[in-house]
Amino acid sequence: MNSAKTARARGLVLPVLLAGLLTGCAGLLGSDGTGYADLKAGDCFTNPSTESGAENEEVVEVVEVDLIPCDEPHQQEVFFVSEMSGGDYPGEGVLDLNAKNVCTEEFEGYVGSTVEETTLIAGYIIPTPESWDQENDRAIMCTLGDTTGEEVSESYKDSGL
């Protein structure tokens, strides 16, 4: 069995991703065998299961995501992946700032509207100190979802939403 990476997810704009902040994302390995580190721009997935089971908490632990074709019902879509350079863990604040900047910059090119104009929830997933050190995780993943958390059956690419 592959060791699963951990990550933290946050929102770019309010309301934030998944109606709260996802943190301590332990075991992002979907039941279909897709690991968090294997997600790429254009991949769609359902909202991760949470260990606590409380969907509207400000902080929840992510257990898994399931990769789904974007033309089938899903809740989230990866729109950009950026790799940070190596070295020591830069800290959550530095990763948050980097993620906000890169995801905001890349949003319009993928969706066709700006983060300020969108009707979507934009967010990002960043490495935890553990995944940075133990798994060499350097990925910042920019994500999109519907503000209601409802499932959609199409990609947000070039949607202008």
Average pLDDT in the 113-117 region? 87
Beta-bridge partners for 143: 78, 123
Per-residue pLDDT of 31-63, as tens digits, reads: 555 666 778 999 998 866 544 444 444 444 454
Residue 125 CA to residue 123 CA, distance in Å, equals 7
* CB-based contact 51:64 (threshold 8 Å): no
Per-residue pLDDT of 124-134, as tens digits, reads: 888 888 888 88
